[in-house]
Amino acid sequence: MDIKQSLRSNDLNLKDHRQIGQEQDLFVTSELVGSGLPLFTPKGAILRLLIEEYIADLLTKAEYQQVWVPHIARKELYEVSGHLEKFGDDMFPVMKTKGREYVLKGMSCPHHIQIFARKPISYREMPQRYAQTTTVYRSEQSGELGGLTRVLSITQDDAHVFCMENQVEEEFKRALEINKQMLKDFKFKDYWIQLSKRDPKQKQKYLGDDRVWEQMENLMKDLLEKTKTPFKEAEGEAAFYGPKMDLMAVDSHGREWQLSTIQLDFNLPERFKIGFIGEDNEEHRPYMVHRATLGSVERFLGVYIEHTQGIFPTWLAPVQATIIPISDKNVDYGKEVLGQLKEAGIRAEIDDRSETMQSKIRDAAAQKIPYMLIVGGREEEQKQVAVRTRGGEDLGAMPLTQFLDKLKAEVESKA
């Protein structure tokens, strides 16, 4: 299932993420590049880079290891995985070059399986947790593409866990905790889980036998009940290789969006014949957990831009502070302040245009820049800055060091 959206009457007053993206100069589309292939501007690239760094840091703390895989693979990889058979219509056509056949990466799980299979792995080394933020490519109908929420190039915060049966419950709990932390940090109001099961009337769409599917679906349901996680069941929404838990987050406007996903898979390990050496010195098949916290960076950004209406918290704002000299006489001091801010790691700019101060303040507020630092003769003489917020609050004049302390505390707390 793609983004699920529950619209309310007052949503008519909300700006679309494409409009906000244009107003704040975050991303563009080009007919020459193609629909569904957004291009991120310097400000938009900062925003997505910060989000990608956030996810990498969150997963590192949860003991995931970063890996890297290329953007193409031999056709045989996806034949073994079953993707070409069950998912081929959503992938780009096979590329033939110099007598070889390659496929543009539609998903990373078969690649990560090859990393797991690179050497013998003992039960003492389980679980193996691999993470990577990487772009995959899906062939969508042109009429289905829109903004950042439906694209051809999908950057996933993709992670796969290879674990023993008695570790599955703990890995699901760990994945749920990561998702809950993300919701807290990005200020989503509420959530529930959609337990996506296979359609029993169309079993030909899925890999594996009835026993394995029943076992996996019951296991996931038990885990949700044990952790007292609110959920609803949905038949026919499973991945072709296993059931999944899709996190439905409620934004600041009361709308529901699909973000994170956690999927349980025993079929791909079986198809690739991967194993670990158990305590009995015999080879055993691992369980595989597919999981993503954001789901897709592009789609998450589209949702998040509308969730905040472009009013990003200071830690995420592409520009955290803009310096506004009252007159041309104060530009040199403004540049001195700019240098100190940048040296302190603050994303700042100076508006030294020949416009009125009030015009510059309006423009900065329209760009949703968290702080405006007004500098005039008095501020220059006293080595201070007069601070205003994007909401119009006047915090008065203060030493630059005091402002920096305030800003850094705000960034660290993700307020």
231, β-bridge pairs? 193
Grouping H, G, I as helix, E, B as strand and the rest as coil, residue 132 is strand
- Domains of the chain and CATH, by start: 9-308 (3.30.930.10), 321-413 (3.40.50.800)
Please say if 112 is a catalytic residue: no
Active site includes 158? yes
- Per residue in 235-293, pLDDT (tens digit) is 988 888 788 889 999 888 888 888 998 988 888 999 999 999 999 999 999 999 999 99
Which neighbouring-strand residues pair with 350? 323
Which pLDDT value is given to residue 89? Answer: 87
Distance between CA 113 and CA 158 in Å, rounded? 13
The pTM for the full model equals 0.90
What residues contact 401, with CB distance under 8 A and at least 6 apart? none
Predicted local distance difference test score (pLDDT) of residue 214: 87
Tell me the C-alpha distance between 203 and 200, whole Å.
6
Distances (CA, A) of 334 to 314, 350, 357: 21, 7, 13
Q: Is 244 a catalytic residue?
A: yes
**Set 290, 291, 299, 388: catalytic member:** 290
Terminal-residue alpha carbon distance, the chain: 32
- Percent of the chain predicted with pLDDT > 90: 71
Instruction: Determine the Cα–Cα distance for residues 196 and 351; give it in Å rounded to an integer.
Output: 51
Annotated active-site residue 163? The verdict is no
What stretches of 32-172 adopt beta strand conformation (E)?
39-40, 65-66, 72-74, 95-97, 100-104, 128-137, 153-163
- Is 290 a residue of the active site? yes
| Number of other residues whose CB lies within 10 A of the CB of residue 80 | 16
Query: CA torsion, points 79, 149, 243, 174, in degrees to nearest 10?
Result: 110
Give residue-wise pLDDT tens across range 335-348. Answer: 999 999 999 999 99
| pLDDT < 70 regions, the chain | 1-12, 143
Helix pair angle (210-226, 168-185), 10° resolution? 50
Query: Residue 328's CB: how many other CB atoms inside 10 A?
Result: 9
Q: From CA 102, how far away is CA 76, in angstroms rounded?
A: 8
Active-site residue, 194 included = no
Note the pLDDT of residue 12: 54
